[in-house]
Chains A and B, each alone.
Chain A
Amino acid sequence: MTLAQSINGWLRRVPAWTLYVVFALWGGWYFYLALTRSTGIWTNQVQGLEHVVGLLALKILIAILAITPIRTYTGINLVKFRRALGVSAFFLVLYHFLVWWFLDVQTLGRVVADIIKRPYITIGMGALVLLLPLAVTSNNLSIRKLGPLAWRRLHWLTYPAVLLAAVHFVWLRKGWQLEPLTYLAIIVALLLLRVKWRRLALALPGLSRG
């Protein structure tokens, strides 16, 4: 048995729902830190919470993009965790948004004004809006109702959503900073991997006909 096969065998025994527990506790832990800490990033507790929650969501979204290449290149199959990761990422993005609304800017007027006037917030909001239908249709009933093809097409919205989230991160910093640009670069690389495969898939039947 190969290493990938034994890892896959071990993963089969881990139920996907454990991820919901992990990320719920993780998000709760961040809230606890924001309540109780007052140094470093927690000197500004609200901004600290906003940042760590947003970053965790972005990391999960990157993990989702990595699942297919990991399977292609290593044979390790994480596909069964994709839904739990996607739904967790959505709830963390929602958490990030609610912290921004209720603890940071605090009034609906400021929320609306910022979404309209400030492109980096508009973009972040765009990512949340794109993730909304994905979260709503993350169940077997929706797959049946939409049909697998339409459901898959709908869930391609993940790609622009992740890209918008990364641009949101780059844009909210002062100047061009290495940390958010690194996230953006990883995301672009993971998306480019897919583009290449699509082109190959389209080109191959053409070649066989020729």
Chain B
Amino acid sequence: MRQPWKNDMNWSDVTPKAAWLNRRQLIAGGAAAVAAGPAWAKLDYKTSALSTDETPNTLEEITTYNNYYEFGTRKSDPAANAHTLKTDPWSVEIAGLVDKPGTYDLAELMTGLPLEERIYRFRCVEAWSMVIPWIGFELGKLLEKVGTQPGAKFLRMETVVRPEEMVGQRSRILDWPYVEGLRLDEAMHPLTIMATGLYGEELPNQNGAPIRLVVPWKYGFKSIKSVVKIELVAEQPVNTWQAINAREYGFYSNVNPEVDHPRWSQASERRIGGGLFAKRIDTQMFNGYGDQVASLYDGMDLTKNY
């Protein structure tokens, strides 16, 4: 395979050293970490008009309550187990109907793609939600960079498979690797980003480090974590949850208060952080991003294409 714009840089070369030391080491390092200065883990990014002005959830909430079955099925498992995943070096294979296929080092892949902070609502299919200040770049800009061919209609992504580093992958809860997909126009939409950071710092492992998809108008499971492969394809891919239970999880999985999950209502949600007595809030069509994305689905029956 051809490997364009190859350079000698590693992901670590564009990352401040302290950022790839994990937090526990930083805390243990004490004075040494403080001496590293205030800029140690900050990523360089711009703000975006696409961000919501809602108050983000705390870093603690975002990093201790996760669905990431590669590290276990309990919400607290990823925070406890994800530290074993080595995210540097990291490469991503770009395959299928693209002009410049190849396996790219992450730093190389991100060259020339400006990082932005995107504060998005995040709605889980389990009817809870958060507001998350992601740092990332638009997937569409990456796709422009690698060049999509005319036959490409969909995009298929895979999560890394490393049972030795991902304890949940040692049992067959899901059919690894985790697979997700988007229609090409969804992937090219400016709201769709590949996130590499959170709260101004590098993405913690439990949130899908070093690179994950974020599609804010779809249920959270569409936003595949720790991506190692992006393939442009002609046919609609079968995503992991659809393969497990097509009646409950579709390909589109757009947030839709009018189409219930067979086992629970999607009409309302619990915003994390409200405490024990918080009122549920109404779920918005397309998670509140309808103005930007509803036109993608003109003429489609969303009760059939759930």
Chain B nearest Cβ from A114, distance in angstroms: 7
Per the 8 Å Cβ criterion, residues 270-299 of B in contact with A are 270, 272-273, 275-280
Q: Is the CB of A43 within 8 A of B277?
A: no
Option from B65, B76, B264, B277 in Cβ contact (under 8 Å) with A114? B264
A120 contacts across to B, CB distance below 8 A: 263
The answer to whether residues A44 and B73 also contact, given A175-B174, A178-B171, A178-B173 and a CB cut-off of 8 A, is: no
Determine the interface band of chain B, counting residues with CB < 8 A from chain A.
20 to 34
What per-residue 1/0 map shows which CB atoms of A103-138 lie under 8 Å from chain B? 111100010011001111000000000000000000
Option from A41, A106, A113, A173 in Cβ contact (under 8 Å) with B76? A41
Q: Which residue in chain A gives the minimum CB-CB distance to B248?
A: A174
Question: Other than the known A39-B64, A41-B75, A106-B280, what 19 A-B pairs have Cβ atoms closer than 8 Å?
Answer: A34-B276, A38-B275, A39-B60, A40-B75, A40-B76, A40-B79, A43-B61, A46-B270, A47-B270, A105-B280, A118-B262, A119-B263, A120-B263, A174-B126, A175-B73, A175-B174, A175-B244, A178-B73, A178-B173
Residue ranges of A at the interface with B (Cβ–Cβ < 8 Å): 34-35, 38-41, 43-47, 49, 103-106, 110, 113-114, 117-120, 171-179
Option from B128, B263, B279, B280 in Cβ contact (under 8 Å) with A118? B263
B236 located at the interface, meaning its Cβ lies under 8 Å from any Cβ of chain A in the complex:
no
Q: Is the CB of A103 within 8 A of B65?
A: no
A103 contacts across to B, CB distance below 8 A: 276-277
Q: Which residue in chain A gives the minimum CB-CB distance to B58?
A: A38
Main secondary structure of the interface of B (DSSP, over half): loop
B84 located at the interface, meaning its Cβ lies under 8 Å from any Cβ of chain A in the complex:
no
Q: Is the CB of B275 within 8 A of A45?
A: yes
Pull 6 A–B residue pairs with CB atoms less than 8 Å apart, ordered by A. A38-B61, A44-B75, A44-B272, A113-B265, A118-B263, A178-B173
Chain A nearest Cβ from B306, distance in angstroms: 16
User: Total number of A-B contacts with CB less than 8 angstroms?
Assistant: 72
Q: Which residue in chain B gives the minimum CB-CB distance to A49?
A: B276
| CA gap between A178 and B278 in the complex, in Å | 31
| CA gap between A189 and B155 in the complex, in Å | 46
| CA gap between A163 and B91 in the complex, in Å | 48
B74 located at the interface, meaning its Cβ lies under 8 Å from any Cβ of chain A in the complex:
yes
| CA gap between A70 and B262 in the complex, in Å | 41
Residue ranges of B at the interface with A (Cβ–Cβ < 8 Å): 60-61, 64-65, 69, 73-76, 79, 126, 128, 171, 173-174, 241, 244-245, 260, 262-265, 270, 272-273, 275-280
| CA gap between A114 and B267 in the complex, in Å | 12
Q: Is the CB of A44 within 8 A of B64?
A: no
A171 contacts across to B, CB distance below 8 A: 263
Q: Which residue in chain A gives the minimum CB-CB distance to B80?
A: A40
Chain B nearest Cβ from A144, distance in angstroms: 43
| CA gap between A49 and B276 in the complex, in Å | 9
| CA gap between A35 and B280 in the complex, in Å | 17
B263 contacts across to A, CB distance below 8 A: 118-120, 171-172
Q: Is the CB of B73 within 8 A of A40?
A: no
Q: Is the CB of B75 within 8 A of A175?
A: no
Q: Is the CB of A43 within 8 A of B74?
A: no
| CA gap between A151 and B245 in the complex, in Å | 43
B277 contacts across to A, CB distance below 8 A: 103
Chain A nearest Cβ from B145, distance in angstroms: 35
| CA gap between A43 and B128 in the complex, in Å | 11
